[in-house]
Amino acid sequence: MNETIVSYLGETLGYSFNWAGTLAIFFIASLVLASIMALIGGLGTYAERKISADIQMRYGPNRVGPYGILQFLADGVKMLLKEDCIPRDSDRFIFKLSPMLCLVGVLASLAVLPTSSGFILANLNVGIFYLLGATSVVGVGIFLGGYSSNSKWAMLGGMRGAAQIISYEVPVTLTILSIVLIAGGLSMNTLVGGQGAFPNDWYIFHNPFSFIGFFVYFIGSLAETNRAPFDIPEAESELVSGYHTEFSGMRFAFFALSEYIEVFVLCAIAAALFLGGYNIPFGLQEHGLLGQLLQLAVFFTKSFFLYYVVIWIRWTLPRMRVDHLMILCWKYLTPIALLNLVGTAVWMYCFDGKSFYMILKQLFVASGQ
Amino acid sequence: MDVYLPIFLLIFIALLIIFGALILSYLIRPSNPSLIKQTAYECGELPVGTAWANFNVRFYVVALVFIIFDVESALMFPVVAVYKRFLQLGSGGAVLLSLLVFIGVLIQGVIYCWRKGDLDWIKSYRTSSDVRAKGLK
Amino acid sequence: MEYSISTILPIMLLPFFAFVLNAFIVKKFTKTAVAISCVAIFIPFIMAMRIFIDFVFNKYSSDYYIHKTFTWFDLSAGAQIFKVQMGIYLDNMSAVMLLMVTGVAFLIHLFSTYYMHDDPRYGRFFVYLSLFTSAMLGLVLSDNLFSVFIFWELMGFCSYSLIGFYYEKEGAGNASLKAFMTTRVGDVFFLLGIVALWTTIGSVSYVEIYKAIAESSLSSPVILFGLGIPLATFAGFCIFMGTIGKSAQFPLQVWLPDAMFGPTPCSALIHAATMVAAGVYLSLRMYPLMDAGGLLEFIAYIGGITALGAATIALVQTDIKAVLAYSTISQLGYMVLGIGVGAYSASLMHLITHAVFKACLFLSAGSVIHALHDHHTHAPVQEMPRMGGLRKKLPYTFIAMLFCTLAISGIPLFSAFVSKDRILGDALVMAAHSPIYIVPAILGFCGAFLTPFYMFRMIFLTFYGEPRDQELYKHAHDEHFSYNRNLPLLILAVFTLGFWYSGSLTGQGIVKVFPESKYEWFQVLVEKPVLNKFLGRTATPLEVSESKEFIEHSHYDPNHGIASEEEAHHVHLIHRFGAAASFLIALCGILLAYSMYITRKFSPEWWTTTFAQWTKALKNRYYFDHLYIDILIQKLLHPFNNLLAWIDMGFYDRYAVDGWERVLALSYSVARWFDNIVIDSVLVDGSGISVRFFNIVLRTIQNGKIQFYFLVLLFVLASYVLAFKPVI
Amino acid sequence: MGIIPYIVVSSILFICGIIVMIARKNIIAILLGIELVLNAAALNFVAFTKFNNMNIDGHVFALFIILVAAAEAAVGLAIVIRFFQVRESIHIDSATQLQS
Amino acid sequence: MNMFLMIIFTLSAFLAVGGALSVAFAKNLIHACVYLLFSLIGVAGLYLTLGAEFVAATQLVVYVGGVVVLLLFAIMLTGGSNLHHVTSRFGLESTPLMGNLRTYIMGIVTALLLIAVLCNVLQGSISASAVVESKFSSTVEQIGVKLVTDHILAFEISSVLLLGALVGAAIIARPYRSSETEN
């Protein structure tokens, strides 16, 4: 298993890099990943509008480029050209800082995104835990954004956003704990490598608890990214625009970008933890660059599917009320996640870490003989 | 050490993107501030008072419960990570037991907060006897 | 399975935890408490079964033992060693005892769920039962006399609480006090014996005591009342006094019949099966000490007297539980007799068999009592003259009780024939050896004649004939088979059969189940402690597991240590004669009872009128209660008490206390002067001034500002660090 | 690179924390100072773990320091909030009496 | 690779120290809190350079995600609602943040004293300990093994500590159940 891109390339090319070369490769790789993510974030807005139009039987953007696909570029240009308004009574230092915190937090979390067995930027030993830490910066950014505007709408949105993000981090963390329990390690390659290419080897079907856990995680990550039906902090009809009411121009763009990238990251983590990640069948991953590209394709397909589901949910379900939101988190998801954790631990103990499928297989094999 | 390098590089790139975009927009955007433009949005009215006045304790209580959970899960992560190894070594029972005790104590806190109504959002911190009296009515 | 602390100790701790838990929850969650108690005795039963199987069925050699200790507290200072160690001692005898105690206790728990169900203090009963079981198991597991004493007293307390369980009933409180106080007499002696051993050996662990006996370091005399008595004799006598108290032997037997005020299951558990057996168990453990002290003849006499005396008293009792109580005393007398004549394994075997059938008898009696209610007072009926003909109404109880009666009577194929008659055989052997044993042997055989008589008298009066109280009979409930009423009885009844305890059907090696099996497991496995093996052996500390103390198998000597073949043959002959004789005697007793109470050839009334004086003496239990209460306490202790009171009131009070008053008055005037001059003017006012002064100083520092305090703290710390260079 | 830079950094953190604790009059600011001090201590633990070839215990200690800091922050801030509700002030010098 | 270590160490130390100094000298409490955030992130970076990646991640998760949010909430909760007090530009109670001349002098003296003490301690510790770099390896598993073997008691007791913290803080922070309003 290749640790990082550098060692992968070093092995493939048979060349050992000095520190400048390493730095250059890392820099290029990080830049590529960040750009891809920015692109995905931008395309996310387009996809959102297009899919919503599809669901509501409208056309959606269709003027800029073929099928309106360049719409996001036009949006970006528009953002660049907007005037930068900072409210008079605001806390200017924090006002400028908060969008940066959001974007930095999200982009820093990309380092452990397991895109393929070779193309992982930093295969940290604490991979998933690091990701949790990095994304928790976003919550602080959102709260500070809401606070600094000195606007009542923004303040309400910021408070709600922070409360919601930290609340839903609890079931998400507990669910991730149960998956770590199954995999026996925190590094992303351990978590993904423990699964197989086919659904029977995925952790979602490993045992009944992880099957429930997937949905807990998915709901929790929806709420953590302030997506509908949990978009209380930016509920247009109640809070104008939530914590980024007062932000305009590029500062607003950073918030939006970080949100869309975070949605993708969490979808990708869901795909990696539960849906087999980049695993491909028949030993194809051994075929050098081709194998890596296939893994990339598989991984991004799964992630995009989940991304589609997220958008689909947004345009299907109505928004929840804020107290229902908190009740859902603390009184349903958290106890369920705790139960899942205990159940998974007991399952691992009882069945010696075997998955449901393996037990079934053993049963059938045993009865066939 | 190079394992951690991408993290710092990504942060660096993020800052690069941010400042690049801000400088770019600084160069090309218009800038003609006015008093009204710089007023916080309050449905078209002039804002009354400051926004930093109405904050509710329940946010704090939620954050409190969260931080306890956060620390507990941070402590549980390493234990959970070695659980499988201990299982393979055949002494998983002890680890399972210690985990269960840990979670059990955690659950007690949750139950306490639940019973006391700290987890309710629309709250009324009423005692259970009040609830029962209401139910009787 | 290697035994360690964690596999042995739960046997004792589970009931104890059940007790602690139940003590708190019993008021609100009675059913839960009962369930907890039952489960907490069932699990130890399984564990004891495991230990029993490992120990007895030849996983270990027959004299393998586990001895693990831990230091309870250590007050050693320099060369002065004062260290109290606690520990676990587990050998074949303990394994057998554990299985018996847990098994019987579990069945009694089960029966109690039926018997006590409608009682208002249903839950509390189980609390006591759990505590009692735990204490008994702790006693069996103990490795030293000190912890034995602790559990011994704990059991005494349980016995006290359970006898006084129906404290609103008249006499129950007195009975419980009587039991407590009477056993206390023995306990004081027991403690004295422990202290005597401690001062000589420096330890009270069994192993240390055995070692000391083997080194014959106990023969040094102690001076007592001007007489030089060997220490072994003194200590052995004192410890045997503990046995006399706990096992209700001859001078101190008076508490056991009164103990029948308690609920019947507790009578079965405490006053028949287990607690009273603890005394015999202790004597068996301390057998080498008694042997070394030359006390065996004394023990044999005590046992014989108790066996016969209690049996005679049982002849005239009408209360069904009283008959059983006296038969218990009598059987305990047999066990003690067994110890006295050196029938070590037979004595333990009789302990086990007696526990089983006596528990069953008491439970059956409880079943009978529970079925009968007085029509007017609604009180349960225990009087045998009002019963009769109950075998149709209570068939299962009848079967169980009949089995047990046959067992206790010493009919072949049943258990007591194996055990009791082996004791009697050994007594005969000893009598043939030395004439001093002739009297105990005769007493034992007389008791063996009376035992079947009074037992069958009870059976015939209760279950046969016409119902003497028709109304009572009519209202008696029919017995339906239920798991918690009849199942314990039937299980216990099955275990009254002899072959469980003996390879040959009748004991004595006459008829054998498996001809190839040479010896019987009881005789092979339970034998007198071979003292030499304890020489130079120290206990393994509890922390260090994996202690394997395999000692090479010491083969069973079927000749009872008698060297020549001819003598051995002689001994066997005597044994067979004894068996045949006791069987015949038992048959005679049964026939007599049959002719008196079924066919009525001899009228019981004729006997009572002819021997009126004797009957009166028997009914008054040989005037022992009278002796103790009226003469010993009233005539002896009360005057002594009065004397002491007189000294206290008239002498000490008048002269010492009142005299002091004068002294105090004098010193008071001195003190007042001192107070005025020195204290008041110098100290009080002076300290007031100084306080005011310091107040001014401290007020500036004590300003309530936390940060200032912190700053001062910091300065002090910093100056400390700067002044003394830290050593890192 | 040795241990000295780390100790210098942690000393500076420590001194900053102490200064905040002494000089600030806002109770929450004092709590911020406590966090800084605790961080300095934890940093020292981890640094000594690496450079003095201790076993991993230092990391465990750092972990527990973080735990205790979190618990302390939770309880301390709760006390501050209750204090504020009673006194309508979080000035440290208004907290000189034990009873309200 | 030492180059990277130097760079990362320098950046992180700069962040940590700068953050800490800013905490000490910031006028606004919210700003101080944000500076504390930076300082904590810097310390996390220092942990990374020391190879304590798990501690670094814990620092991020617990401090950045939890404690800082809690502090911000508390500041908002205590800074806002007292309008009858003199409020600063940000609606916070205007307290003498760095105080007067006396405070400054005291602070400087204290700092000098502390530096003297620390130099003293450092001298002792550095001369005493030979600098040996241990090997660079995964710490999560080691910490996990430590937590379930050597430190199992601390691990379990910490849960009780947290339970106590939760219950105590919840009791303290719970809003008044003012009896006047009910009556």
C74 three-class SS: strand
Q: Which residue of A has its CA nearest to E66?
A: A166
Q: Quick check: E128 and C728 CB within 8 A?
A: yes
How many other CB atoms are there within 10 angstroms of residue A92's CB atom?
12
**Band of the pLDDT at C513, cuts 50, 70, 90?**
very low
Q: Where are the domains of chain A?
A: 86-368
| pLDDT above 60 for B136 | no
Contact status, residue C161 vs residue C179, Cβ threshold 8 Å: no
What span, in angstroms and rounded, lies between the C-alpha atoms of B61 and B125?
A: 12
Do C315 and C461 lie in one domain? The reply is yes
Q: Which of C12-21, C534-543, C562-571 has the lowest mean pLDDT?
A: C534-543
State the virtual CA torsion across A344, A349, A355, A357 in degrees, nearest 10: -110
E183 three-class SS: coil
Query: Which of C703, C704, C711 lies at the smallest CB-CB distance from D22?
Result: C711
Residues of A in contact with B22 (CB under 8 A): 250
3-state SS string for C319-352: EHHHHHHHHHHHHHHHHHHHHHCCCHHHHHHHHH
| pLDDT above 60 for C287 | yes
What span, in angstroms and rounded, lies between the C-alpha atoms of C273 and C362?
A: 9
Q: Which residues contact D93 (CB under 8 A, 6 or more apart)?
A: C704, C705, D25
Last residue of a domain, one of C294, C328, C346: C294
Chains C and A touch (3+ CB pairs under 8 A): no
What span, in angstroms and rounded, lies between the C-alpha atoms of C460 and C405?
A: 11
List the 2-61 stretch of D: residues with Cβ below 8 A of B. Answer: none
Give residue C134's pLDDT. Answer: 92
Domain range holding E157?
Answer: 138-177
Comparing C-alpha atoms, which of C242, C143, C239 is closest to residue C193? C239
Give residue C131's pLDDT. Answer: 92
C380 three-class SS: strand
Q: What is the DSSP letter of E174?
A: S
- DSSP assignment of C26-66 equals TTT-HHHHHHHHHHHHHHHHHHHHHHHHHHHTTSS-TT--E
Which helix or strand (DSSP H or E) is residue C69 part of?
strand C66-74
Is there a cis peptide before residue A229, judged by omega within 30 degrees of 0?
yes
How many other CB atoms are there within 10 angstroms of residue C312's CB atom?
18
Tokens of C488: 């314990």
Comparing C-alpha atoms, which of C107, C138, C162 is closest to residue C16? C138
**Band of the pLDDT at E138, cuts 50, 70, 90?**
low
Q: Quick check: A353 and B14 CB within 8 A?
A: no
**D90 in C contact zone (CB under 8 Å):** no
Q: Quick check: D62 and E55 CB within 8 A?
A: yes
Residues of E in contact with D68 (CB under 8 A): 161
- Domain presence at residue C551: no
**D68 in B contact zone (CB under 8 Å):** no
| pLDDT above 60 for E89 | no
Q: Which residues contact B63 (CB under 8 A, 6 or more apart)?
A: A162, A163, A166, E66, E69, E70, E73
Give residue A82's pLDDT. Answer: 83
Contact status, residue C300 vs residue C340, Cβ threshold 8 Å: yes
| pLDDT above 50 for D70 | yes
Query: Which of D7, D20, D80 lies at the smallest CB-CB distance from E24?
Result: D20
| pLDDT above 50 for C547 | no
Residues facing residue C86 across a β-bridge: C70
- Domain presence at residue E40: yes
Q: Quick check: D74 and B67 CB within 8 A?
A: yes
Give residue C190's pLDDT. Answer: 92
| pLDDT above 60 for B59 | yes
What span, in angstroms and rounded, lies between the C-alpha atoms of E145 and A293?
A: 37
What span, in angstroms and rounded, lies between the C-alpha atoms of C368 and C393?
A: 10
Q: Quick check: D90 and E23 CB within 8 A?
A: no
| pLDDT above 50 for B9 | yes
| Highest mean pLDDT: which range of A315-324, C183-192, E49-58 | C183-192
| pLDDT above 80 for C643 | yes
**D34 in E contact zone (CB under 8 Å):** no
Do E117 and E173 lie in one domain? The reply is no
**Band of the pLDDT at C213, cuts 50, 70, 90?**
confident
**Band of the pLDDT at A2, cuts 50, 70, 90?**
very low
Q: Which of A10-19, B26-35, B80-89, C360-369 has the lowest mean pLDDT?
A: A10-19
pLDDT digits (tens, 9 = 90+) for C303-319: 999 999 899 888 888 88
Query: Which of E110, E124, E125 lies at the smallest CB-CB distance from C711?
Result: E110
**Band of the pLDDT at C330, cuts 50, 70, 90?**
very high
Give residue C717's pLDDT. Answer: 79
The residue among A94, A98, A128, A136 with the most chain E CBs within 10 A of its CB, best to mutate, is A136
Residues of B in contact with A185 (CB under 8 A): 81, 84
| pLDDT above 50 for B131 | no
B117 three-class SS: coil
C656 three-class SS: helix
pLDDT digits (tens, 9 = 90+) for C15-62: 998 998 888 888 888 888 888 899 889 888 888 888 887 776 656 666
| pLDDT above 80 for C322 | yes
The residue among E8, E55, E167 with the most chain D CBs within 10 A of its CB, best to mutate, is E55
Q: Quick check: D43 and E43 CB within 8 A?
A: yes
Query: Which of D18, D21, D93 lies at the smallest CB-CB distance from C705?
Result: D93
Give residue C223's pLDDT. Answer: 65
pLDDT digits (tens, 9 = 90+) for A288-319: 778 888 888 888 898 989 998 888 888 888 88
What span, in angstroms and rounded, lies between the C-alpha atoms of B71 and E62?
A: 6
| pLDDT above 50 for C559 | no
Q: Which residue of A has its CA nearest to B86?
A: A184
Give residue A349's pLDDT. Answer: 80
What span, in angstroms and rounded, lies between the C-alpha atoms of D9 and E6?
A: 14
Do E90 and E142 lie in one domain? The reply is no
The residue among E10, E140, E162 with the most chain B CBs within 10 A of its CB, best to mutate, is E162
- Domain presence at residue C549: no
Q: Which residues contact A305 (CB under 8 A, 6 or more apart)?
A: A271
- Domain presence at residue E170: yes
| pLDDT above 70 for C366 | yes
Do E55 and E70 lie in one domain? The reply is yes
Angle at CA of residue C531, ends C527 and C536, nearest 5°: 140
What span, in angstroms and rounded, lies between the C-alpha atoms of C600 and A79?
A: 121
Comparing C-alpha atoms, which of A241, A269, A252 is closest to residue A176? A269
**C710 in D contact zone (CB under 8 Å):** yes
- Domain presence at residue C547: no
Percent of chain E topping pLDDT 70: 69
User: Residue B44 carries which side chain, given as an amino acid letter?
Assistant: G
Name the residue with higher pLDDT: C445 or E177. Answer: C445
- DSSP assignment of C545-594 equals -------PPPPP-TTTT--SHHHHHHHHHHHHHHHHHHHHHHHHHHHHHH
Q: Which residue of D has its CA nearest to C711?
A: D22
C527 three-class SS: coil
Percent of chain D topping pLDDT 90: 2
Structural domains of chain D sorted by starting position, each given as residue range(s) with its CATH number in brackets: 4-94 (1.10.287.3510)
Distance separating the N- and C-terminal Cα atoms of chain B: 68
Q: Quick check: C725 and E110 CB within 8 A?
A: no
**B105 in D contact zone (CB under 8 Å):** no
| pLDDT above 70 for E27 | yes
Give residue E136's pLDDT. Answer: 42
Instruction: Look at the domain B5-136 and name its fold.
Output: Methane Monooxygenase Hydroxylase; Chain G, domain 1 (1.20.58)
Radius of gyration of chain A (CA): 22
| pLDDT above 60 for C654 | yes
Residue with tokens 């086990």: C352
Q: Where are the domains of chain B?
A: 5-136
**Band of the pLDDT at E155, cuts 50, 70, 90?**
confident
Query: Which of A30, A325, A349 lies at the smallest CB-CB distance from B13?
Result: A30
Name the residue with higher pLDDT: A273 or C389. Answer: A273
**Total domains, chain E:** 3
Nearest CA to CA, how far is E109 from chain D (Å)? 10
Give ipTM to 2 decimals.
Answer: 0.59
Number of DSSP helices (H) and strands (E) in chain B, helices first: 4, 0
Query: Which of E110, E120, E121 lies at the smallest CB-CB distance from C714?
Result: E110
Nearest CA to CA, how far is E172 from chain B (Å)? 10
Contact status, residue E60 vs residue A133, Cβ threshold 8 Å: yes
**B67 in D contact zone (CB under 8 Å):** yes
Name the residue with higher pLDDT: A241 or B105. Answer: B105
Query: Which of E58, E150, E176 lies at the smallest CB-CB distance from D63?
Result: E58
Half-sphere exposure of C521 toward its Cβ, with a 13 Å CA cutoff? 18
**Band of the pLDDT at C117, cuts 50, 70, 90?**
confident
Q: What is the DSSP letter of D91?
A: B
Name the residue with higher pLDDT: A212 or B137. Answer: A212
**E6 in B contact zone (CB under 8 Å):** no
Task: Give the pTM.
Answer: 0.58
List the 125-144 stretch of A: residues with Cβ below 8 A of E. Answer: 125-126, 129-130, 132-134, 136-137, 139-140, 143-144
What span, in angstroms and rounded, lies between the C-alpha atoms of E73 and A161?
A: 12
Nearest CA to CA, how far is D18 from chain E (Å)? 8
Query: Which of D7, D54, D77 lies at the smallest CB-CB distance from E70?
Result: D77
**Band of the pLDDT at C387, cuts 50, 70, 90?**
confident
pLDDT digits (tens, 9 = 90+) for A349-364: 877 777 877 777 777 7
Query: Which of C711, C722, C728 lies at the smallest CB-CB distance from E106?
Result: C711
Which chains have 3+ CB pairs within 8 A of A? B, E
| pLDDT above 80 for A55 | yes
Nearest CA to CA, how far is A146 from chain B (Å)? 10
Residues of C in contact with E110 (CB under 8 A): 711, 714
**E170 in A contact zone (CB under 8 Å):** no
Pairing verdict, β C540-541 and C66-74: parallel
The whole-angstrom distance between residue C380's C-alpha and the CA centroid of its chain comes to: 28
Contact status, residue C356 vs residue C323, Cβ threshold 8 Å: no
Comparing C-alpha atoms, which of A334, A272, E37, A159 is closest to residue B72? A334
| Average pLDDT rounded to a whole number, residues E77-100 | 48
Residues of D in contact with C721 (CB under 8 A): none
Q: Quick check: D73 and B67 CB within 8 A?
A: yes
pLDDT digits (tens, 9 = 90+) for E14-23: 889 998 888 8
| Average pLDDT rounded to a whole number, residues A41-52 | 85
Give residue A11's pLDDT. Answer: 65
Q: Quick check: E55 and D42 CB within 8 A?
A: yes
List, as own/partner pairs, every contact residues C138-141 make where C-beta atoms lie below 8 angstroms and the sequence separation is at least 24, other chains included. C138/C12, C138/C16, C139/C278, C139/C281, C140/C94, C140/C97, C140/C98, C140/C101, C140/C281, C141/C8, C141/C9, C141/C11, C141/C12, C141/C88, C141/C89, C141/C90, C141/C94, C141/C98
Q: Quick check: C714 and D93 CB within 8 A?
A: no
**Band of the pLDDT at C335, cuts 50, 70, 90?**
very high
Which helix or strand (DSSP H or E) is residue C224 part of?
strand C221-224
Q: Which of A304-308, C520-524, C546-550, E62-66 has the lowest mean pLDDT?
A: C546-550
Q: Which residue of B has its CA nearest to D63?
A: B75
**Band of the pLDDT at A203, cuts 50, 70, 90?**
confident
Q: Quick check: B64 and E152 CB within 8 A?
A: no
How many other CB atoms are there within 10 angstroms of residue C268's CB atom?
33
| Average pLDDT rounded to a whole number, residues E107-132 | 67
- DSSP assignment of C665-690 equals HHHHHHHHHHIIIIIIIIIIHHHHHH
Nearest CA to CA, how far is D49 from chain C (Å)? 15
Query: Which of E31, E60, E66 lies at the smallest CB-CB distance from A134?
Result: E60
| Average pLDDT rounded to a whole number, residues C574-590 | 85
What span, in angstroms and rounded, lies between the C-alpha atoms of B66 and B55?
A: 18
| Average pLDDT rounded to a whole number, residues A211-231 | 86
Domain range holding C710?
Answer: 626-723
Residue with tokens 């954004």: A145
**B1 in A contact zone (CB under 8 Å):** no
Percent of chain C topping pLDDT 70: 86
Q: Quick check: E53 and A126 CB within 8 A?
A: yes
Do E36 and E116 lie in one domain? The reply is no
The residue among C705, C709, C713 with the most chain D CBs within 10 A of its CB, best to mutate, is C705
H helices within C383-514, ranges in order?
395-409, 415-433, 438-463, 470-475, 486-494
**Total domains, chain C:** 4
Buried-state track A40-67, b at ≥16 Cβ within 10 A, e below 16: bbbbbbbbbbbbebeeeeeebbeeeeee
pLDDT digits (tens, 9 = 90+) for A131-157: 888 888 888 888 888 888 877 788 888
